[in-house]
Amino acid sequence: MITLALSKGRIFDETLPLLAAAGIQVLEDPETSRKLILPTSHADVRVVLVRASDVPTYVEYGGADLGVTGKDTLIEHGGQGLYQPLDLKIAQCRMSVAVPAHFDYASAVRQGSRLRVATKYTAIAREFFAGKGVHVDLIKLYGSMELAPLTGLADAIVDLVSTGKTLQANQLVEVEHIMDISSRLVVNQAALKLKQASIRPIIDAFAQAIAKTADPTP
Ligand code: ATP
Ligand code: MG
């Protein structure tokens, strides 16, 4: 049995075409089913639905053989014990620093001010500001980062941005682009050795499907 860990929402939705390229159809819709284990058209392949931030943990400890997870989540997890064969180029967005429109970020940085930064991504934020030589107090949040500067909880946030509409709606502006983010395939290292024959074809089919999307000429 091969177990693939996915999170509901964009990662699940954007992984479906890759699975289809590997000849695998998921037989239930996670938006309507209450099941956490979904069967597929392959009797020996199943999908488990876990929280996005739990995908690397499931794969690390072998609760799943494979998983799809954002680069953001992977960096925060640390990636230990995970083989990362492919950038799937799905769920693309960027990690950014944003501040209230009235906050003069550039001069705060120039003056060496200590910044209060709210984020779910503390490892990424810590490394980024350390690299810039900016002193920060990191405030760990689990959601709605945009609210932090509006309530005086923080001067800035580090968060994922795709269209920028959420920032705009909350009068926040992007002042730093930390890195581009997309989702990766992660594989349990022991499973890769023990279940080569079933896992390799999935990795290869995903790789081919990505190459086709990148260069659609036949
Ligand atoms: P959790 O439920 O564990 O708290 P989450 O709610 O942040 O996680 P999602 O919002 O489903 O999880 O995001 C899952 C992944 O999708 C993120 O880790 C990121 O890589 C990617 N992602 C998040 N927001 C966007 C976005 N606006 N556009 C594209 N990809 C995104
Ligand atoms: Mg979520």
Cα of 113 vs centre of ligand 2, distance in Å, is 33
DSSP letter at 26? B
- 165 and 206 both lie in a single domain: no
% of the chain beyond a pLDDT of 90:
97
- 70 and 31 both lie in a single domain: yes
- 141 and 174 both lie in a single domain: yes
Instruction: Give the span between the Cα atoms of 91 and 181, in whole angstroms.
Output: 8
- 101 and 84 both lie in a single domain: no
pLDDT mean over 80-101: 97
Q: Is the pLDDT of residue 217 over 80?
A: no
Tokens read off for 158: 């580090």
Say if residues 22 and 202 touch (Cβ distance below 8 Å).
yes
> Closest ligand 1 atom, CA of 182?
20
Q: Is the pLDDT of residue 174 over 90?
A: yes
| Whole-prediction pTM | 0.95
- 106 and 175 both lie in a single domain: yes
Strand order, beta sheet including 93-100: 136-140, 115-119, 156-161, 93-100, 172-181
At 103-116, the pLDDT tens digits run 999 999 999 999 99
- 117 and 188 both lie in a single domain: no
- 76 and 10 both lie in a single domain: yes
The CATH code of the domain that includes 42 is 3.40.190.10
The torsion of the CA quartet 132, 74, 122, 152, rounded to 10 degrees, works out to: 110
> Closest ligand 1 atom, CA of 70?
20
- 69 and 134 both lie in a single domain: no
Instruction: Give the span between the Cα atoms of 15 and 100, in whole angstroms.
Output: 35
Instruction: Give the span between the Cα atoms of 39 and 90, in whole angstroms.
Output: 23
Which residue, among 82, 148, 154, 94, has the nearest Cα to 124 in the 3D structure?
A: 94
DSSP letter at 36? S
Q: Give the structural domain span for 66.
A: 2-91+182-214
At 3-29, the pLDDT tens digits run 999 999 999 999 999 999 999 999 999
Q: Is the pLDDT of residue 215 over 90?
A: no
Cα of 51 vs centre of ligand 2, distance in Å, is 7
Number of domains in the chain: 2
- 43 and 100 both lie in a single domain: no
Residues near ligand 1 (Cβ within 6 A): 7, 9-11, 51-53, 70, 72-73, 91-93, 160, 162, 181, 183
Q: Is the pLDDT of residue 148 over 90?
A: yes
> Closest ligand 1 atom, CA of 7?
11
